[in-house]
C-alpha cells in the first residue's frame, strides 16, 4: 500500500514500497546505516528507473540511489526521503566471449558477477566482498583482489548507461559524451543513476589465496615490512593488511595479511611471490589454498540492518609505508580509539593508467589505508588522522564517511575537481544527486 504517497504512475505499480508494505523492513536499511525512507522504489529496467527518479523527485525530499546497499558512508538510505533502489537491474551477461565483453546491471552483486564469469574462465576484480553492489563500486573505483595485476574496476569499463537528473537515458563511452564517461568512472554518484555497465573482463584461472596471521606487538615494524615486501613483489601479488581490535591483558594484538597470487601456474611461482610475506613479523598462523576467483568473493545474501558497527571511517592513500607513517598508524592502534586499520596494496596496473583518463586520478600511490571506529570514538579517530596527515597523498572516497570540501580536494586533485564541477553544472544543475559527496 502507498496510501500516504502521491499517486503512483502505472509503470511503477507494485514497485513503490512505503512503510506499511510488508517488503519495507527488508528494504529500508543499508549495511552501515539504518534508515526510514518514505518510499523505496524498485525499478526493473532503465525506463522504469527514469520514472522512479521522476517520482522520487516529486516527493520533494532527499533522493538516495542504491545498488547493493554496502556504501560505507551509508547514504544510500535516508530518513523521510526516497530511495531509488536498482537491485532488480541485476543481469550479468557475457556479450562476446572472444573479446571478453560483458554487461552487468548496476544492481548485481560482485559475488554473482564473479560466479557467472567464472564459468567462462573470466573475472573482473572488484573488491574483497561479494555482497558489494556493482553500481556503488563501479562509479567510484574498485580496489580489489587483483588490483596490482589488473588495475581498478573502473579501468576496464567500456560503456556506462545511466539516467540523468532530467530523466534522459544516456549510454556513454569513449566516443559518446566522453566527458561524462570520464566523470562517471570515479565520481559517478554525482551524475545520475547508473543502470548497467559494459566491462572488458580478463582470463582468470585459479588463484593462490594466502591467509597469514602475525603477532602485531610491534605494529609499526610489521607495517613497514609488509609495505616493503609489496613494493618489491611482482604485480601478480595483491595483498591486504588488517589490524582488528584484540590484545587486552595477556593477549597479543594480531594482524591479518590476506594475499592473492594470480600469476603463472608454473611450479614454484606462487611460492616465490608469497615467501617474502612470511618473514614480515612473528607468525601465528599461515595457510594458502588454490581457489577459483569466485571463492574469494562469496555472496552472503544477508539482509541489511545497519549491522556495521564501525561506521566512522577515514581514508588515505600513501606512496610508501615510511617509518613515520607506520609509527603514526601504530600510535592510532595503541590509542584504543581506532578499532580497525586496513591497508590495501594498489600500484602496479593501477598506476599504468594516465591520471587524466578517469575521474579517479590517483595513479602514483602504492597503498590505500582505511581506519575505522565507532561514533563514540570519532574524536580519537580524528586525532589519529591528524597525525597521519603529513604522510598521505590523496584519498579514496569509498572508504571515508566525511563530506567536507577538504576531503573532496584530496579525493579529486586538480584539475579533476574543477572539471567535475563544470560537468556537474552541465548534467545536474539542480544537484539532485547530492547525497554522496558535495560537488556543488
Ligand atoms: C564490507 C565492505 C567491503 C568493501 N570492500 C571494498 C573493496 O574491497 N574495494 C572497494 O573499492 N570498495 C570496497 N567497499 C566500498 C564499496 O565499494 C562502496 O562502499 C560502494 O559504494 C558500495 O556499493 P553498493 O552499490 O553496495 O553501495 P550503495 O550503498 O548501494 O551505494 C553507495 C553510494 O553509491 C552511489 N550509487 C550506488 N548505486 C548507484 C548507481 N546505480 N548509480 C549511481 N550511483 C550509485 C550512491 O551515491 C550511493 O550513496 C567495501 C564496502 C563494504 C561495506
- Cα–Cα distance measured from residue 118 to residue 435, given in angstroms and rounded to the nearest whole number: 34
- Cα–Cα distance measured from residue 402 to residue 384, given in angstroms and rounded to the nearest whole number: 15
What domains, with CATH codes, occur in the chain? Answer: 11-85 (3.30.43.10), 92-203 (3.30.465.10)
pLDDT 10s digits, 351-386: 999 999 999 999 999 999 999 999 999 999 999 999
pLDDT 10s digits, 203-217: 999 999 999 999 999
What does the buried/exposed string (b/e) look like for 287-315 if buried means 16 or more CB atoms within 10 Å of the residue's CB? Answer: ebeeebbbbbbebeeeebebebebbbbbb
Computed over every residue of the chain, the mean pLDDT equals 95
pLDDT 10s digits, 282-298: 999 999 999 999 999 99
Q: Is the CB of 189 under 6 A from ligand 1?
A: yes
pLDDT 10s digits, 6-63: 999 999 999 999 999 999 999 999 999 999 999 999 999 999 999 999 999 999 999 9
Number of neighbouring beta carbons within 10 Å of residue 249: 4
Please classify residue 94 by burial: count the beta carbons closer than 10 Å to its beta carbon, then call 0-12 exposed, 13-18 middle and 19+ buried: middle
Number of neighbouring beta carbons within 10 Å of residue 13: 9
pLDDT attached to residue 248: 59
Omega before 379 within 30 of 0, i.e. cis: no
Which has the closest alpha carbon to 236: 212, 271, 280?
271
What is the reported pTM? Answer: 0.97
pLDDT 10s digits, 108-140: 999 999 999 999 999 999 999 999 999 999 999
The residue-averaged pLDDT of 392-406 equals 95
Among protein residues, the one whose CA lies closest to atom 49 of ligand 1: 76
Q: Which atom of ligand 1 is nearest to the CA of 75?
A: 49
Locate 385 and state its grid cell.
Answer: 588522522
Q: Is the CB of 146 under 6 A from ligand 1?
A: no
Which has the closest alpha carbon to 372: 243, 237, 211, 192?
243
pLDDT attached to residue 251: 62
Q: Is the CB of 313 under 6 A from ligand 1?
A: no
Predicted confidence (pLDDT) at residue 104 exceeds the cutoff of 50: yes
pLDDT attached to residue 249: 56
pLDDT 10s digits, 234-278: 999 999 999 976 655 556 689 999 999 999 888 899 999 999 999
Q: Which of 50, 137, 191, 396 for mutating ligand 1's site (highest number of atoms within 8 Å of CB)?
A: 137
- Of all residues in the chain, the percent with pLDDT exceeding 90 is 92
Element (H, E) at 239: strand 237-243
Over the Cα atoms of the chain, what is R_g? 21
The residue-averaged pLDDT of 183-204 equals 98
Instruction: State the number of CA atoms in the 13 A half-sphere of 144 facing the CB.
Output: 31
Amino acid at each position: 500500500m502507498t496510501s500516504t504517497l502521491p499517486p503512483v504512475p502505472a509503470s511503477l505499480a507494485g514497485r513503490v514500497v512505503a512503510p506499511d508494505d510488508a517488503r519495507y523492513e527488508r528494504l529500508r536499511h543499508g549495511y552501515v546505516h539504518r534508515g526510514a525512507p518514505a518510499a523505496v522504489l524498485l525499478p526493473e529496467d532503465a525506463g522504469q528507473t527514469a520514472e522512479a527518479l521522476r517520482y522520487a523527485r516529486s516527493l520533494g525530499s532527499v533522493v538516495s540511489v542504491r545498488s547493493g546497499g554496502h556504501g560505507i558512508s551509508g547514504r544510500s538510505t535516508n530518513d523521510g526521503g526516497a530511495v531509488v533502489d536498482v537491485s532488480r537491474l541485476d543481469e550479468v551477461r557475457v556479450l562476446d566471449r572472444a573479446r571478453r565483453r560483458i554487461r552487468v546491471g548496476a544492481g548485481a552483486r560482485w559475488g554473482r558477477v564473479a560466479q557467472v564469469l567464472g564459468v567462462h574462465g573470466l573475472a573482473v576484480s572488484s573488491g574483497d566482498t561479494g555482497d558489494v553492489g556493482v553500481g556503488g563500486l563501479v562509479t567510484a573505483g574498485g580496489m580489489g583482489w587483483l588490483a596490482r595485476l589488473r588495475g581498478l574496476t573502473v579501468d576496464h569499463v567500456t560503456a556506462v548507461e545511466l539516467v540523468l537528473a532530467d530523466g534522459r537515458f544516456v549510454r556513454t563511452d569513449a566516443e559518446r559524451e566522453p566527458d561524462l564517461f570520464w566523470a562517471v568512472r570515479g565520481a559517478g554518484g554525482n551524475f545520475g543513476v547508473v543502470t548497467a555497465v559494459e566491462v572488458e573482463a580478463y582470463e582468470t584461472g585459479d588463484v593462490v589465496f594466502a591467509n597469514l596471521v602475525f603477532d602485531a606487538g610491534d605494529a609499526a615494524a610489521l607495517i613497514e615490512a609488509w609495505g616493503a615486501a609489496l613494493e618489491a613483489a611482482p604485480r601478480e601479488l595483491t595483498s591486504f593488511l588488517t589490524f582488528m581490535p584484540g590484545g587486552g591483558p595477556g593477549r597479543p594484538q594480531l594482524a591479518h595479511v590476506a594475499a592473492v597470487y594470480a600469476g603463472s601456474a608454473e611450479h614454484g611461482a606462487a611460492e616465490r611471490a608469497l615467501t617474502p610475506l612470511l618473514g614480515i613479523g612473528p607468525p601465528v598462523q599461515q595457510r594458502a589454498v588454490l581457489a577459483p576467483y569466485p571463492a574469494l568473493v562469496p555472496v552472503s545474501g544477508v539482509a541489511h540492518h545497519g549491522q556495521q558497527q564501525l561506521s566512522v571511517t577515514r581514508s588515505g592513500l600513501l606512496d610508501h609505508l615510511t617509518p613515520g607513517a607506520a609509527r603514526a598508524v601504530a600510535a592510532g592502534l595503541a590509542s584504543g580509539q581506532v578499532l580497525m586499520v586496513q591497508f590495501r596494496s594498489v600500484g602496479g596496473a593501477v598506476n599504468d593508467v594516465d591520471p587524466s583518463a578517469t575521474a579517479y586520478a590517483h595513479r602514483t600511490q602504492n597503498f590505500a589505508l582505511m581506519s575505522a571506529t565507532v561514533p563514540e570514538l570519532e574524536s580519537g579517530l580524528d586525532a589519529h588522522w591528524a597525525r597521519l596527515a603529513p604522510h598521505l597523498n590523496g584519498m579514496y572516497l569509498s572508504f571515508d564517511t566525511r563530506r567536507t570540501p577538504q576531503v573532496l580536494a584530496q579525493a579529486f586533485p586538480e584539475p579533476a575537481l574543477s572539471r567535475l564541477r563544470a560537468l556537474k553544472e552541465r548534467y545536474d544543475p539542480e544537484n539532485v544527486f547530492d547525497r554522496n559527496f558535495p560537488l556543488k
